[in-house]
Chains A and B, each alone.
Chain A
Amino acid sequence: MFLAWNEVKQNKLRFALVVGVLLLVAYLVFFLSGLANGLQNMNRAGVDKRKADGIMLTEESDKNLQQSSFSKNDVKDLDGGTFAELGALNAIASAGDNSSGVAIFGLNPDEFIMPNVTEGKKFKETGEVIAADSLKDDGFKIGDTLKLSSSKEKLKIVGFTDDAKFNAAPILYGNMETFQKVRFAEAADMNKDRINAYVIKSKDLSKVKAGKDLEVVKTDDFIQNLPGYTEQNLTVTLMIYFLFVISAFIVAIFLYVLTIQKVSIFGVLKAEGISSGFLARSVIAQTSILAVAGVAIGLGLTILTGLFLPPAVPVAFNYLNMSLYGITLIIVSMIGALFSVLTIVKIDPLKAIGG
């Protein structure tokens, strides 16, 4: 530490550059992790909020909510948990110049999936909806009448709720009848008992009996199967892992160059009897100083950036994840320093005494 710290103090510019590169990598890692998390939320917030353990869908829907449609009458003796009916469809909603793709969810207000209201009031009449508060950013407000792309029905926003996104689309929550009118128009009466899914709360999902041609899917499985969800996650995660590899290389190269410059002085110190272990520990200590500084500044910058980001950017910071990534970066940097440690061990103290 003595050697390491004094060298950093005497060569501020050189080490500031290393810290600079590390902090940029850390910044990118943290930002990407925020983005990964934000994208996940966009897809799953509406699902997470229901705090459900599973969902019952038709087998042929391939775990896709919109493709699942069945009649309540086909499912007899629901048992093993609490069940809530859910109808779902996608549409484009517009009010004046504002328009947005939305997911319309129909539900029964007395069942557990009924969302809380953060602004305005709950829907009462058919045609009234509670909207995702992200729609406010698009210019929608309470009292707006929404025209829908696929239906003559008009919906009215009476309130807003938070965390209401499903597969990146803001959700409009209304009662079952609202949903059925939008979905089936004149045929709504005939299809009164058609829903997309039963949302299930149950301590033991295996005890829930699926109806004929239906299957019970765990919430996690359901989320993984949201269109694009897994692909998106893998892409961002791959980028983060790649950054780990890159930062290991960067640290390895920088430290290796710095070590090579010091080969002669290390040789002299070894001739004088200072052990390789002492010198190696010094390089490791130096790496940890640089890595911790880089990661800490990167973290600070990320949080600062987060404060100024427009809401349209889907970034949500998960501090637990970020600290894990930060620690990984520091460990990976240490691994990069091992190269230099090997170099030090190999330095021949004999070279210090020239012919």
Chain B
Amino acid sequence: MAVLELNDANKIFGSGNTTVEALKKTNFKAESGELIAIIGPSGSGKSTFLTVAGGLQQPTAGEVVINGKDMTGLNEKKRSNVRLHEIGFVLQTSNLVPFLTVRQQLQLLDKVKTGNLQGQALEHLLQTLGIDTLQNKLPSDLSGGQRQRVAIAKALYADPAIILADEPTASLDSDRAFEVMELLQRTTKENGKTTIVVTHDTRLIEYCDKVFNITDGNLKEMSKDGTEVQDAVEKARQ
């Protein structure tokens, strides 16, 4: 069963003569255990795809099903609840609360939901990310890479079915970027998660099971090998 499903979903902004179809009619399925890359230049509809798929906004038409939950007709309050329980976000800008320590960033989630990682699983997560010694540090005491790893920890801590990562490696050096991708790959495989990564970085594509390209609101799957992907990434860079 698909964990994330978009059926004929599109998104139109504006009205009358000034409408923009940011996301054309899209069918998309992601199974559990899949790590998927999405490539596209800015303005291509990448963010729109991410926000529609992530339940942050409703598609204009069509339906979005997140882990078996049909988002059609749900108000923001209910969608917020689905996001809380089903989706882990790793955002481009740091999504850490500036006045909470690393430990408290995670504890905050304990205040709003149950079923978060405990004990060994948590230890393991922190160690793998190399942030187990940073637990009492504030975000302002961390480097960009450390912050990003904490953000990933935060997304994984809630044990969601789906991880949506927007340029998760943007502020990391190559070594760290590979480590993060390995980690995302491992959690995806071992814990049966569905991970969608929006990225510009071709080197990361090796870690992914599928690659999609989005241009002018059209989402298209590409074969991982061959020059097609290279071209798409080149375009995205421009």
- The interface of chain A, by Cβ under 8 A from chain B, is 2-3, 6-7, 9-11, 264-265, 268-275, 278, 349-350, 352-355
Contacts and interface: CB of A to CB of B under 8 A. Distances in A.
A350 B87 contact: no
20 contacts: A2-B104, A6-B99, A6-B100, A9-B99, A11-B99, A268-B89, A268-B93, A272-B84, A272-B89, A273-B87, A274-B80, A274-B84, A274-B112, A349-B56, A349-B80, A353-B50, A353-B51, A353-B56, A355-B42, A355-B47
Which of A6, A9, A265, A271 has the most chain B CB atoms inside 10 A of its CB? A271
B166 interface: yes
Across the A-B interface, the 3 shortest Cβ-Cβ residue pairs: A273-B84, A273-B83, A10-B99
B95 interface: yes
Contacts of A2: 104, 107-108, 111
A273 B100 contact: no
Nearest to B94: A268
B6 to A, nearest CB: 17
A271 B93 contact: no
Q: How large is the interface on B (under 10, 10 to 19, 20 to 34, 35 or more residues)?
A: 20 to 34
Nearest to A355: B47
B43 A355 contact: yes
B80 to A, nearest CB: 5
B99 to A, nearest CB: 4
Contacts of B83: 271-273
B77 interface: yes
B57 A350 contact: yes
Nearest to A265: B97
A273 B82 CA distance: 7
Given A6-B100, A11-B99, A354-B93, A271 B112 contact: no
Nearest to A1: B111
B81 interface: yes
Given A271-B83, A273-B112, 10 more contacts: A3-B108, A10-B100, A265-B95, A265-B98, A271-B54, A271-B56, A272-B84, A274-B112, A278-B112, A353-B50
B92 interface: yes
A287 to B, nearest CB: 16
A268 B50 CA distance: 14
Main secondary structure of the interface of A (DSSP, over half): helix
B102 interface: no
A265 B108 CA distance: 13
B89 A275 contact: no
Contacts of B85: 273
B80 A275 contact: yes
Which of A10, A271, A273 has the most chain B CB atoms inside 10 A of its CB? A273
B97 A3 contact: yes
Contacts of A354: 47, 92-93
Contact of A278 (B76, B82, B89, B111): B111
B43 A350 contact: no
B91 interface: yes
Given A272-B84, A278-B112, A6 B91 contact: no
A352 B80 CA distance: 14
A298 to B, nearest CB: 26
B138 interface: yes
Nearest to A266: B97
A145 B171 CA distance: 92
B89 A271 contact: yes
A3 B108 CA distance: 8
Nearest to A277: B77
Nearest to B57: A350
A236 B201 CA distance: 70
A61 B54 CA distance: 82
Contact of A275 (B50, B87, B100, B112): B112
Interface in B61-107: 76-77, 80-85, 87, 89, 91-93, 95, 97-100, 104, 107
Interface string B184-222: 000000000000000000000000000000000000000
Given A271-B56, A275-B77, A278-B112, A353 B84 contact: no
Nearest to A273: B84
Contacts of B87: 273
Contacts of B93: 264, 268, 352, 354
A350 B95 contact: no
B97 to A, nearest CB: 6
Given A350-B51, A353-B47, A353-B50, A268 B95 contact: yes
A352 B89 CA distance: 10
Nearest to B138: A10
A148 to B, nearest CB: 71
A3 B110 CA distance: 12
Nearest to B98: A265
A31 B80 CA distance: 48
A265 B112 CA distance: 16
A250 to B, nearest CB: 22
A190 B111 CA distance: 88
B42 A353 contact: no
A94 to B, nearest CB: 67
Nearest to B83: A273
A270 B95 CA distance: 11
Given A2-B111, A353-B50, A355-B47, A272 B56 contact: no
Contacts of A349: 56, 76, 80
